[in-house]
Chain A
Amino acid sequence: MKIIVCVKQVPDTNEVRIDPIKGTLIREGVPSILNPDDANALEEALILKDKYDDVHVTVLTMGPPQADEMLRECLAMGADDAIHLSGREFAGGDTWATSNAIAAAIDKVVGEYDIIFAGRQAIDGDTAQVGPQIAERLGIAQVTYVQKVDVNGNELTIERQLEDGYEVIKAQTPILLTAIKETNTPRYMYVKGIYDAYKEKEVKVCSFADLGIEQDEVGLKASPTRVRRSFVPTPKGKGVMLEGTAKEMAEKVAISLKQKHLI
């Protein structure tokens, strides 16, 4: 069985700070990490690899040269090989253009596959759109918010998380699944794995020329959406200290919550 895991290197948004004067993000010194949901996607693939003999796990990313480090981390966790799609042509793409490039890489570079795992969403953009749009480009079925999956040959039984429970879904390969935090607990890299990631395993670097598509199908030019402006949300001013009896204060809070449509 051939599994592809789509991963993304993201800035650790917990560490992102704002330049108070320019009102912009300070990216310098912010660590880059493997996107958390993608770690769950990889873990699910590795669980299948541990369980069955014939599983081959390829991780695939699109990103700048420094994303190599994240791919090595994935290899050190146990992935078999990695593909790194990189080039100026891909820059500035929205989810339409990004999924186009990744789907083309799967088609042209990876070839055959049974399951594609992706994280539900990346913590920098939080869109959750690239996974489903890759599936659409490839013309395969998708199940998002996968909290559990059992694979038996080409038959899958999947639990798909809903806000108030879950659905049980039966499906067949080929399929794209997106993983969530609840899917599993990602493993750590291990020492031999780290050695192998740098000495034994391969990261194949691919460029735009390898995809066999036109320049205007990827990157900013191909993107239907544009960022018109970005801004820092107005920082919260210091709040109000309520006055009165406990009952009066409680009522003031309730009224305000109701007026803000929060309750």
Chain B
Amino acid sequence: MPIVQDTSAYKNVWVFAEQRQGKLMPVVIELLGEGKKLANEIGTQVCAILLGHNVDGLAKELISYGADKVYLGQDELLEKFTTDGYTNVIAEAITEIKPEIVLMGATHIGRDLAPRVAARVDTGLTADCTQLEIDPEDKKILQTRPAFGGNIMATIICEKHRPQMSTVRTGVMDKAHKDDSRTGEIIKLDVRLEKKDIRTDVVEIVKAMKEIVSLTDADFIVSGGRGIGNQEGFELIKKLADKLGGVVGSSRACVDAGWIEHSHQVGQTGTTVKPQIYIACGISGAIQHLAGMQSSDLIIAINKNANAPIFDVADYGIVGDLYDVVPKLIEAIGNAEELVAALK
């Protein structure tokens, strides 16, 4: 069993500033926003730990997003993410500097790195948190996450080990605001890495020309049903999906009609999905379709028939012709920022 530590020796909230090809991942800005909130409640600072090669500019960016300190580890060997390289440097920094809380984005990199670091420094790690709070009594962090396919939520604590570590689901926390007048300290980490420490060699990074339909992983799904009337209707569905950076889904009726391939089908005989936003266009809502999408975080239904069962599971129901509504929705999404600003 790992040694129970003197928890009072551990201070500050750290955010892993994941960068790829010299650009910060969007989740880092969310973590800084959330990290600041937590740090204020405990009365400590929020710090970023940034690894890479020639990334000094990003350190300043992190400060403008609210980092009080940036721990900067630079080395040629850290240019691309490798489990070994990043684990060595971060675990060493944690052991030496002793942060109280460490947050990482639950990206494909964060979910590779965080468990390895947690095991190395012998502490607990809570995966894919959707809510973080500070317990007002003992100032420990309460980490809430979904389990059992989202059927249950669990609040996890890390009692006697430090740091308290979480990976945080992307797109959930409020982003930090940028303020270029902010000041902060940049502290260089002493990177002691050798080539032989890194046992995986990233020889190429390939950007996908995303045509693969991955309904299960999609954050946004726009589905068409019988109400689109013909195969060409999916062009409009795709326009809306593209606007959101999402993928096209379909009801069984359209697949049976041969308008779209089966790989797009949502429902009991297709794919079960749980995106952040599901937009059902011209889908009446047969039970087999509802079974595959009703646990989506937010459902928007557009249908001519006000009595369509799809409206029973929708967060927002729009009774109308999808050919009238969808183009206006695409436009409104494009102007969302201005629309919100106009409210104030």
B302-324 interface mask toward A, CB cutoff 8 Å, 1 = contact, 0 = none?
Answer: 00001000011111111111001
Interchain CB contact under 8 A, A242 and B128:
no
Partner-contacting stretch, out of B63-71, B187-195, B196-204, B255-263: B196-204
Number of A-B contacts (CB under 8 A): 250
Which residues of the other chain, A, contact B314 by a CB distance below 8 angstroms? 239
Interchain CB contact under 8 A, B158 and A224:
yes
Which residues of the other chain, B, contact A206 by a CB distance below 8 angstroms? none
Q: A123 an interface residue at 8 Å Cβ cutoff? A: yes
Which residues of the other chain, A, contact B329 by a CB distance below 8 angstroms? 250, 253-254
Partner-contacting stretch, out of B38-46, B223-231, B331-339: B331-339
Q: B153 an interface residue at 8 Å Cβ cutoff? A: yes
Q: A151 an interface residue at 8 Å Cβ cutoff? A: no
Q: Which of B115, B277, B332 contacts A262 (CB 8 A)?
A: B277
Q: A167 an interface residue at 8 Å Cβ cutoff? A: yes
Q: B299 an interface residue at 8 Å Cβ cutoff? A: yes
Chain A proximity of B253: nearest CB distance (Å): 23
Interchain CB contact under 8 A, B153 and A258:
no
| A18-B151, A125-B147, A168-B202 given; A142·B83 CB < 8 A | yes
Chain A proximity of B220: nearest CB distance (Å): 8
Chain A proximity of B298: nearest CB distance (Å): 7
Interchain CB contact under 8 A, A135 and B315:
no
Q: A107 an interface residue at 8 Å Cβ cutoff? A: no
Interchain CB contact under 8 A, B336 and A133:
no
Interchain CB contact under 8 A, B125 and A255:
no
Interchain CB contact under 8 A, A11 and B148:
yes
Q: Which of A129, A167, A225 contacts B204 (CB 8 A)?
A: A167
User: A97 — nearest CB in chain B belongs to which residue?
Assistant: B1
Q: Which of A143, A145, A226, A232 contacts B157 (CB 8 A)?
A: A226
Q: B174 an interface residue at 8 Å Cβ cutoff? A: yes
Interchain CB contact under 8 A, B127 and A126:
yes
Interface residue count for B (Cβ, 8 Å)?
88
Interchain CB contact under 8 A, B148 and A25:
yes
Interchain CB contact under 8 A, A227 and B317:
no
The binding surface of chain A is classed by DSSP as mixed
Which residues of the other chain, A, contact B152 by a CB distance below 8 angstroms? 18, 25, 230-233
Interchain CB contact under 8 A, A246 and B320:
yes
Chain B proximity of A236: nearest CB distance (Å): 7
Q: Which of A125, A163, A238, A246 contacts B312 (CB 8 A)?
A: A238
Interchain CB contact under 8 A, B336 and A223:
no
| A141-B199, A239-B299 given; A96·B147 CB < 8 A | no
Q: A47 an interface residue at 8 Å Cβ cutoff? A: no
Most chain B beta-carbon contacts within 10 A, residue among A16, A216, A240, A254? A254
Chain A proximity of B322: nearest CB distance (Å): 10
Q: Which of B148, B160, B277 contacts A257 (CB 8 A)?
A: B277
| A141-B83, A254-B332 given; A170·B159 CB < 8 A | no
Interchain CB contact under 8 A, B119 and A257:
no
Q: A192 an interface residue at 8 Å Cβ cutoff? A: no
| A221-B1, A222-B1, A258-B336 given; A128·B156 CB < 8 A | no
Q: A136 an interface residue at 8 Å Cβ cutoff? A: yes
Interchain CB contact under 8 A, A253 and B205:
no
Q: Which of A116-151 contact B (CB under 8 A)?
A: 123-133, 135-137, 141-145
Which residues of the other chain, A, contact B317 by a CB distance below 8 angstroms? 239-242
Which residues of the other chain, B, contact A226 by a CB distance below 8 angstroms? 156-159
| A99-B119, A240-B315, A249-B318 given; A229·B155 CB < 8 A | yes
Report Cα–Cα, A145/B108, bound state, in Å.
Answer: 7
Q: B300 an interface residue at 8 Å Cβ cutoff? A: yes
Interface residues of A (CB under 8 A from B): 11, 13-14, 16, 18, 25, 94-96, 99, 123-133, 135-137, 141-145, 160-172, 175, 181-182, 214, 216-217, 221-233, 236, 238-242, 246-247, 249-263
A-B contact pairs, 7 of them (CB 8 A): A14-B149, A133-B116, A164-B210, A224-B123, A225-B126, A239-B313, A254-B336
